[in-house]
Structures are given as C-alpha cells and as structure tokens.
Amino acid sequence: MNELYKLVKYHAGLYYDKDSPEISDAEYDSLVRELKQLENDYPQFSRNDSPTQTVGGEASSLFAKVEHVTPMLSLDNVFTHEELVNFFDRINAEGFVCEMKIDGLAVSLIYEDGIFVRGATRGNGRVGEDVTENLMFVDAVPKKLINAPAGRVEVRGEVLMTNERFNAVNAVRESKGEKLFANPRNAAAGTLRQSAKNNHVIAERGLDIFLYYLVDAERFGITTQEGALMWLSSHGLPIQSAYKFYETLDGVKDFISHWQNERYKLNYHTDGVVVKLNDITSWPEIGATSHAPRWAVAFKYPPEEARTRLTNIEISIGRTGVLTPVAILDPVTLAGTQVSRATLHNADEISRKDIRIGDIVRVRKAAEIIPEIIDSDKESRTGTEKIFTMPGKCPACDSEIVRIADEAAYRCPNRASCPAQLSESLKYFASRDGMNIKGIGRKLAEKLTASGKIHSLSDIYTLTAEDWMTLDKISTKSANNLLAELESSKSRPFVNLITALGIPDIGKNTAGLIINHFGNIDALMNASEEELSRIDGVGEVIARSVHEFFRNDDNRKMIENFRAMGFNMGGEILRVSNELEEKIFVFTGTLETMTRDEAGEKVKAMGGRVSSSVSRKTDYVVAGENPGSKLRKAESLGIKIITEQEFLTLITTSVE
C-alpha cells in the first residue's frame, strides 16, 4: 500500500501538474483501483493523505491561486455493469442524464451581469489557478452571455482540444523534432497553462470548451440536470450534443453500449460516459465524499489494444528536416479503424523500449487517435529480429544526417534541395492557412518533387498546363483550373504568404503579429533579431527563427521570385480610426470579391476581430450569398447586418 501511495502520487503529479504522463489513463486507473481495494480490505492501514481521497493536482506557481467557493470535485469511476448496478442501488432513485466523459482540463468560469470576469482550473478541488487572461484567447469561451441574468453566474466544464487540432499541433511538433503530446487532454492542459507571455500559443492551437455544470442551479429556477444543460445552451454557453435523459438503468446501459463505438465519430476524445441523477434537488441529501459526489459516476470504457507484427521501420522526413522512425505493421483493427503504421517518435524511444524489426508488439491508439507501440513481446523472439539504427544519410537526398546537441532529433541539413523536405513544404505552402491552393495535396506534392520539375516553392508557378497534365495524367480542364488557382493565390493576403513559407514556430496568428508590425516584406526581411523579439507575443525563439530564415540566400531568392510574379508583398501599416478598433465581425454565406478568410484578414489588419459565431457582443454580420443560420440569429438579436459592398465601404472609409 505504501508503494502504491508513492506510485499513484508520482503519476498523478505528472498528469495533473506537469501535463506529461508516462503511463496511459487505463494503467493509472488500474493502480488507483488496486489501492482502493486494499484500503477497503485493510482500513487499518489507510492514510488520510491517500491520493484516492484527493482531487486533481496542485495549483502552479505560474498563476495566482483562486479559492473555489463551491469545491470542484472529481468523479468516481466504474468499469463494469455490475459496478454500475451497485451505484444505482446506492442512489435508489430513477431518472438519469448520460453525458459523454470529456477528456480535457476542468475549469470554472464566472460571469458578472453576463460579462466573463474570471476563469480558474480545478487544481486540488479547493484551490485552483487563475487562468482568466489565457481563457480570453480561447474563442470558444463566451466573453458575454446571451440574455444574461443579473449578478454572479458560475459554470463549469472542460477545456479541450479537438482531434483535428490535436493532430495538427502534433504534426507541427513532430516536424520540429519536439516531443509529441501524449493525448488531447494533455495538449489542452499544457496549452492553457502557458505563461502569460506565451498566450499567442493558445490562440494558435485553437482550444475548445464544453460546459456541463451550473453552480447553484436552483437560484435560477433549475431543478434538473437536463434543464441545466438547456439553460447553459440558451445563454450561449457551448454544451456537447451527445447527452440524453433515461428513466431507468436499462436506458443508461443502452446509451453506454451505443457510444462504445460511435464515440470514434466525435471530433473530440472521450473515454467513457458520465451518469448523473437528473433531480438536482436531491443532490445535497445524497451528498459527496471528500473528492467525489455520490449522485454521479463515470463509466470508463476498456482501452483497446492489439498484438501484431512489426514488419519494418521506415523514415519519415518533415518539412524542417527532422527524421521520424515509423513502424510498419501487419494491419490490425483498433478503435474502429485499421492501423498499419505507428509512430516510434525517435531513436532513443526505440532503444529504451528495445523494439526490433520482426517483433510481435502491443499497439494501441493513444487517446484513440495516434497509433503507438506500447512494447514488444521479448519471449516470442526467434533470433531473426533486427535491431534498428538511424541512417547515416538522408534517404531522400543522401546528405549526411546531423544530430542537434540538445535535441533527440536527427535532421537532414539540406533544406534547400532535399526532395522530401520540399514535398512537405509544398503541401504546407498550399494548405488553407497558407496560399490556399485547391488541388495540391500530399500525393501531387510528392509527384512534383519526384519529377525533378521543381527545386523551390516558387517553381510551381512556372509550370504549364502540359506540365501538370503529364505529371498527374489530369484533363486539360483540371490543369487549367489548377493554373487559375495558382494565379488567384498570388493576390492572397500578405499574412498567408508569410504563413505559407513554413518558418519554424510561425503559424497564422504569429505571422499576423509580425506583419502588423512591419507592414511589408522589405521591412521584415531587413529586421534585426532584437527588433523582432520586441514585438509583443513573439519572443526570442520565434525572432531567431524568422531572422535566420531571411538571412538564407535561397530563401531571399525565392522571395524575389514571388515579388516578380506579382505576389502581395504587403504595403503600408494601416492606421485605423476608433470606429472599427476592437469591433467584432461575423461572416456568413459566400462573398463575391474575396474569401471569408481574406475578409477576416482585412478586419484584423484594421484592429478589429473576427468570430465564428453570433452573440450579443457581435458588432457586424456580413452576409454574402446563401447565408446560413448566423443571419437568422443576428436578426433575432438585432445585430447590424451589412452586405459585402457595405463591408468594403466601411473598411475603406474607416482608414484615416
């Protein structure tokens, strides 16, 4: 028991306080269950400081501490239908709400007269961290409630990272040789708990939030959990749609069974179902332990693992030259999909786990998203297995591989002409946040670089229709459409070009900060590292990346090629009147003269803000052709609705 106390506390500290777990959730749950069982069997040896009697972790010294007026408790877990029946028997009541268990960072949001004034993490349940400033950079957190009641409102929920964003963030980290986030929960927690000087990272990573608990609900006339969820939604607070009321245990079992496989279709990670007594008025009578309410429980799904053979280890090369070993597996089905590849992170990880080509391995999906190798079955080895070593030369260009002294990553230094790096760079260049060139994806990017027709990103603009038709065996019409896309991309906003260049550590938001300071490409290329670092939200690491990129002769030559082709290279820094400063715009429908992203960049360049949803805080809704539900909501709230032409007039007349 003493050994388990230390072990559980160690892993809880890694999970809650450092957002860097070493074991899976299932392995951690198993340790806690074993400790709880021992405490039940041998109560004379139980300790008051047992981790089974505590909630979460401790508040970080990076943030001011916040004391929760109403404690933020955890939930007890059950893993079998028998344990679920025991929970129902203890409650001895009917009527339950089932909600998907969100794997995120628990937070409390406080509103005064409808205005968001404070946000805090759960911490140890009694004292959390004040993360108000960071939550301001999470677009999904409403800054003002719809039809807000007077006085104080406290709501609770989970800050999360969607599967789509999680994959994108890890792809960027992998390309830079950084350690991957273990799962979306730790990615969300690590992102939100950035120091204030790094809150641009929060905006870049696009966190989300779901709310599920209204504190002191009865004060608002709410007596059921189902009613509380509807109340939250009616006031503009995002809730998940995957919830349902059931009168009896049979209905709850049906919900759990239905979502065991259907959960993989959700765009966020969930590892179970939360079952709550619907009648809120009964909660105080049923009570709680020191760490969890007795009127709710979390049913945890078993983790999915499989055994298969690792047939080979291939090398993947990212756009910054990082070499990542990838396991090639005999196909196996996991979490509803067929898996034949899994990341091995880096050579050190392979050595630490002693994984060899030909091994029988255990594979799982980390947070049911990224396939990963847990370990290998040493007992089943036949002696034919091969120890893996990193190549001495780049498999794509034959350059000598280098290892950065303070990194686990191996890199190909041939940034200028390595076809693998060029292929990845081209894919990123054509992406939506970059030059938004429809038709250029991974397959075509690989064919382009393999053909030898291009040696720089700017070369794709020199190809003819015949070149494209020969390359990908496409029709004349498709080739001409691609040429039109390329021509159109030249007039994309300047921020798209800077983003598309793929400068390490630079996403679209950071690119926006930089160009709003310098205004045009010449000022940016000639900026010193010190000048770059003084921009609010940039810092020394990003400043160094930008400065080094523009000191490279090949990169400067590429920029000059773009200039000669007529690309948008920026202009003067817009000076704006107070009329549009901090005004919030929402776009709906199809615009005729520009894309909605381009319109949004014009707003941001003038000091305004763009939102994806309409609320009472919205100042303007710009309606294009075939507007959606945002228009109806704007009409119901009395928000000013303008046409595309009125929008163009507005931003033109607002410039001094």
Find the catalytic residue in 101, 427, 508, 583: 101
Q: Tell which residue, 498, 647, 637, has the closest CA to residue 567.
A: 498
Is residue 10 very low, low, confident or very high in pLDDT (cuts 50, 70, 90)? confident
- Predicted TM-score (pTM) of this structure: 0.57
The runs of H, that is alpha helices, within 235-339 are: 249-262, 283-286
Report how far residue 214's alpha carbon sits from residue 217's, in angstroms, rounded to the nearest whole number: 5
The total number of structural domains in the chain stands at 6
Which of 564, 599, 622 terminates a domain? The answer is 564
547 in a domain, yes or no?
yes
| Residue 177: CATH number of its domain | 3.30.470.30
Q: Do 92 and 222 have their domain in common? A: yes
For residue 56, is pLDDT > 70?
A: no
| Residue 28: CATH number of its domain | 1.10.287.610
pLDDT at 405: 62
Mean pLDDT of 77-88: 93
For residue 221, is pLDDT > 70?
A: yes
Which of 281, 300, 319 terminates a domain? The answer is 300
Q: What does R_g of the chain's alpha carbons equal in angstroms?
A: 27
Q: Do 294 and 323 have their domain in common? A: no
pLDDT at 195: 65
CA 350 to chain centre: 26
pLDDT at 635: 86
- Which residues span the domain enclosing 39? 2-53
Q: For the chain, how far is it from start to end, CA to CA, in angstroms?
A: 72
Q: Do 606 and 645 have their domain in common? A: yes
For residue 296, is pLDDT > 60?
A: yes
Which of 300, 324, 351 terminates a domain? The answer is 300
Q: Do 18 and 102 have their domain in common? A: no
60 in a domain, yes or no?
no
pLDDT at 107: 95
Is residue 383 very low, low, confident or very high in pLDDT (cuts 50, 70, 90)? very high
Contacts of 509 (CB under 8 A, 6+ apart): 200, 203, 204
433 in a domain, yes or no?
yes
Q: Do 253 and 155 have their domain in common? A: yes
For residue 407, is pLDDT > 80?
A: no
- For helices 163-175 and 184-192, angle between their N-to-C axes, nearest 10 degrees: 80
572 in a domain, yes or no?
no
Write out pLDDT tens, residues 350-368: 998 999 999 999 988 754 4
Q: Do 267 and 123 have their domain in common? A: yes
For residue 33, is pLDDT > 80?
A: yes
Q: Do 191 and 237 have their domain in common? A: yes
591: left (phi over 0), alpha (psi -120 to 50) or beta: beta
Report how far residue 167's alpha carbon sits from residue 262's, in angstroms, rounded to the nearest whole number: 20
Active site residue 9: no
Average pLDDT, the chain: 86
Q: Look up residue 528 and give its DSSP letter.
A: -
| Residue 341: CATH number of its domain | 2.40.50.140
**Which of 256-260, 286-290, 343-347 has the weakest average pLDDT?**
343-347
Mean pLDDT of 392-419: 84
Q: Do 88 and 224 have their domain in common? A: yes
Q: Burial of 193 by CB count in 10 Å (0-12 exposed, 13-18 middle, 19+ buried)?
A: buried
pLDDT at 505: 78
pLDDT at 197: 61
**Which of 58-62, 121-125, 188-192, 614-618 has the weakest average pLDDT?**
58-62
For residue 564, is pLDDT > 60?
A: yes
Neighbours of 231 (CB within 10 A): 20
- Size of the chain, expressed as the number of residues it contains: 656
pLDDT at 21: 67
| Residue 534: CATH number of its domain | 1.10.150.20
Is residue 105 very low, low, confident or very high in pLDDT (cuts 50, 70, 90)? very high
Report how far residue 569's alpha carbon sits from residue 493's, in angstroms, rounded to the nearest whole number: 8
pLDDT at 196: 59
For residue 580, is pLDDT > 80?
A: no
243 or 199, greater pLDDT: 243
- Mean pLDDT highest for which of 42-46, 503-507, 567-571? 567-571
**Which of 69-78, 219-228, 366-375, 636-645 has the weakest average pLDDT?**
366-375
151: left (phi over 0), alpha (psi -120 to 50) or beta: left
Q: Do 174 and 223 have their domain in common? A: yes
pLDDT at 177: 65
| Residue 596: CATH number of its domain | 3.40.50.10190
Q: Do 242 and 375 have their domain in common? A: no
How far is the CA of 67 from the CAs of 51, 120, 125, 189, in angstroms? 20, 9, 9, 19
569 in a domain, yes or no?
no
DSSP codes joined into one string, 410-428: EE---TTT-HHHHHHHHHH
For residue 577, is pLDDT > 50?
A: no
579 in a domain, yes or no?
no
Q: Do 179 and 274 have their domain in common? A: yes
In this structure, are residues 154 and 138 in contact, taking their beta carbons and an 8 Å threshold?
no
380 in a domain, yes or no?
yes
Write out pLDDT tens, residues 419-439: 999 999 999 999 988 999 998
pLDDT at 620: 93
Mean pLDDT of 493-517: 86
pLDDT at 575: 42
414 in a domain, yes or no?
no
Write out pLDDT tens, residues 471-494: 877 889 989 999 999 999 999 989
Q: Do 118 and 243 have their domain in common? A: yes
